[in-house]
Structure 1
């Protein structure tokens, strides 16, 4: 059987992890792996989550299945987090999924069921899991430009021009905030224009919101999603708790759909759960239950928001610090966009050869497209990192 298989292409990020692990230099800097890190280089368990897990261990009296939709309390809390307190949720249905990626996958399958000849537009660049997931769901893929590497900004007019060529009924995959892997976000006016374009051209929004709270704040980061929801009759949303609750390995996500009416929402949710049944069956419970406990407890919610805000502001401080150091070392404002970007990532605009030199000559690790994890920056060595970057230009 297996003799027919060819070797899989090596995963570049996993290969980078291996090289980093084998590097014996004490000054090595990991800017590649996409997880939040604190000042000590660790990915912490958030205080509120730890308390919630302790409560869960004491109070949970069964490990029986909860059903295909998962934890309904979690689903309700996540819907509110994404759409806001005052939004009419009668047309929204939410299914717990194994991480944001799991939500992306089952929503893609649902859209394929709903529209077998569906075309989905994906930004260029995008996160590495988007294309293979949409291909696995057998959706036809087209791309729209998103990022101007020269200026470090959104190529907004080119983005709009491309989407204006999309056919009615086409799906458009958008990042809700902290656009991966570039760090360049749409502003409020741009979100409004995109929402109007989606509505007038009858395009179907598919929003991936994996970093809510990492950009400008919990409410601010959901503004784009909510703007779109106010303009269109139907849409889907894939939400992740990996980053803002730091439950990476527990795989906590939510797949949300907004339909034109309650009847269609209920039918679509039934089909979505059918997709889940044919994929992983039941979602994992522990992480979602802990998140639910946090979001249903006012004190825990307040503590979670406080710690999340400290994580967000720390990344902003690192951005400003690196941009200032790069300006000083390069005698140029070329890298000022790093301070304007939001979230965990920025793309520096270096060549693969320059990235390789940073790795071999300075023990600074990043992926080949020069995407860096800002949270991995050593706050007390920003001048050193900036000098190394400038040295390979």
Structure 2
């Protein structure tokens, strides 16, 4: 009997919260935990560009044969173009290769195993705070996780000096995880000047950047949000990128992501990418087709691509409007504390500053579910649920 000794795993801090929300019988409950975009009606929509692409695929698809290990070729080309820009020299010179992966998490895991099994690197530096699953992904792959300070609680800002000081302790070859845009959970991103300084620090200390790029288009725009990543790619000789289309295409359950390798020359890239594929083969053999075919169909069709840009803009602008309304509604609910910083943050999340005890009261007394760290999914707010949320927060402050 070997299974009787297996201990109970702790509930996931985000998906476990989702389970608790579903089990809650209250009709006025609100889920602001998981990062899923909601419309003003509280729905998670299928984008129009996605529906049209799926209709085309239904007409054109002739086989359900296996994909190659690295997935849909047209999809991987589209990934590189979104990351670096069309006809970027990295791609022309063969220094960058992308492989389709099952979501951003799958891409991170492939990157982690590639690092652990095929390089001398053993340490990954992650921001404090960061996405709850980062540490789990890297440690499960056998890597050591260190943290660099990122957030300054007293004024709800980025502690850039502390970040630089902590990364100064990193050793050559260490991996530095960076959020490409819309930092999760703080919503605070480096300025372009700060990105330049981060890139120079990585270059000088021979650190290897690993970008988690899950929210392209949700910050300032599809092209604008890639600015830090592109600057880094022009500065350092090698890097890794884990990207995802769950949010900006609304393809949450299709698990559409990619792992991209950038190397110092074509030969090194080809050898490294062969090991990326070897890692994929040992994990899930090859990826599922449908989500990647949707994305590649949209990005290779001028009309559908323009529609996608429009729909991403609509989502981004609605989230920004909810940030402004959140700040105003907290004030209207009698909260004297200054929450204006929420309107300055980017992306789906706000790092509210609420304590663990306050978060627990919101859940237990009011049916408002947010992550224990105080991270709130602004993308789940609507004009209808906003008064309920803000009255509850006023009560626990």
Q: Normalised by the size of structure 2, how large is the TM-score?
A: 0.95
1:238 maps to 242
* Separation in structure 2 between the aligned mates of residue 238 and residue 100 of structure 1, nearest angstrom: 6
1:119 maps to 123
Which range moves more in the overlay, 115-124 or 13-22?
13-22
2:201 maps to 197
2:269 maps to 265
Q: Of the candidates 162, 165, 168, which is equivalent to residue 161 of structure 1?
A: 165
Give, in angstroms, the shift of residue 70 of structure 1.
0.6
Give, in angstroms, the shift of residue 387 of structure 1.
2.9
Which residues of 2 match residues 20-39 of structure 1 at below 5 A? 20-39=21-40
2:11 maps to 10
Which range moves more in the overlay, 219-228 or 144-153?
144-153
Give, in angstroms, the shift of residue 333 of structure 1.
5.8
Give, in angstroms, the shift of residue 384 of structure 1.
4.0
Give, in angstroms, the shift of residue 190 of structure 1.
1.1
* Separation in structure 2 between the aligned mates of residue 120 and residue 74 of structure 1, nearest angstrom: 28
Q: Of the candidates 358, 364, 368, which is equivalent to residue 372 of structure 2?
A: 368
Post-superposition Cα deviations, 1:213-253, rounded to whole Å, max 9, x if no partner, equal 01111011111101111110111101001000111111111
2:147 maps to 143
Give, in angstroms, the shift of residue 140 of structure 1.
1.8
Give, in angstroms, the shift of residue 147 of structure 1.
1.3
Residues 133, 329 of structure 1: alpha-carbon distance in 2 compared, 3 angstrom cutoff: same
* Separation in structure 1 between the aligned mates of residue 16 and residue 68 of structure 2, nearest angstrom: 38
1:255 maps to 259
Tell me whether 1:76 sits opposite 2:80 in the alignment: no
* Separation in structure 2 between the aligned mates of residue 199 and residue 74 of structure 1, nearest angstrom: 30
Q: 1:71·1:96 contact (CA, 8 Å) conserved in 2? A: yes
Q: 2:118·2:275 contact (CA, 8 Å) conserved in 1? A: no
Residues 258, 368 of structure 1: alpha-carbon distance in 2 compared, 3 angstrom cutoff: same
* Separation in structure 2 between the aligned mates of residue 6 and residue 22 of structure 1, nearest angstrom: 24
* Separation in structure 1 between the aligned mates of residue 19 and residue 108 of structure 2, nearest angstrom: 28
Give, in angstroms, the shift of residue 373 of structure 1.
0.6
Please give the secondary structure, in 1, of the residue aligned with 2:146.
strand
* Separation in structure 2 between the aligned mates of residue 333 and residue 220 of structure 1, nearest angstrom: 32
Please provide the CA RMSD for this pair.
1.5
Please give the secondary structure, in 2, of the residue aligned with 1:245.
coil
Please give the secondary structure, in 1, of the residue aligned with 2:287.
coil
Q: Of the candidates 376, 379, 387, which is equivalent to residue 391 of structure 2?
A: 387
Which range moves more in the overlay, 280-289 or 35-44?
35-44
Post-superposition Cα deviations, 1:325-358, rounded to whole Å, max 9, x if no partner, equal 2244456462111100011011111111111222
* Separation in structure 2 between the aligned mates of residue 253 and residue 134 of structure 1, nearest angstrom: 17
Post-superposition Cα deviations, 1:106-148, rounded to whole Å, max 9, x if no partner, equal 1111112332452111111111221111112211211101112
* Separation in structure 2 between the aligned mates of residue 116 and residue 280 of structure 1, nearest angstrom: 24
1:277 maps to 281
2:61 maps to 60
Which range moves more in the overlay, 203-212 or 132-141?
132-141
* Separation in structure 2 between the aligned mates of residue 101 and residue 202 of structure 1, nearest angstrom: 25
* Separation in structure 2 between the aligned mates of residue 377 and residue 227 of structure 1, nearest angstrom: 33
Structure 1 unmatched ranges of 5 or more: none
2:189 maps to 185
* Separation in structure 2 between the aligned mates of residue 286 and residue 267 of structure 1, nearest angstrom: 28
Give, in angstroms, the shift of residue 208 of structure 1.
0.6
* Separation in structure 2 between the aligned mates of residue 49 and residue 118 of structure 1, nearest angstrom: 40
Please give the secondary structure, in 1, of the residue aligned with 2:384.
helix
* Separation in structure 1 between the aligned mates of residue 172 and residue 86 of structure 2, nearest angstrom: 31
* Separation in structure 1 between the aligned mates of residue 28 and residue 6 of structure 2, nearest angstrom: 41
Give, in angstroms, the shift of residue 23 of structure 1.
3.2
Tell me whether 1:208 sits opposite 2:212 in the alignment: yes
2:50 maps to 49
* Separation in structure 2 between the aligned mates of residue 337 and residue 6 of structure 1, nearest angstrom: 42
Aligned residues: 393
Residues 330, 225 of structure 1: alpha-carbon distance in 2 compared, 3 angstrom cutoff: farther
* Separation in structure 2 between the aligned mates of residue 86 and residue 72 of structure 1, nearest angstrom: 16
* Separation in structure 2 between the aligned mates of residue 119 and residue 12 of structure 1, nearest angstrom: 24
Please give the secondary structure, in 1, of the residue aligned with 2:127.
strand
Structure 2 unmatched ranges of 5 or more: none
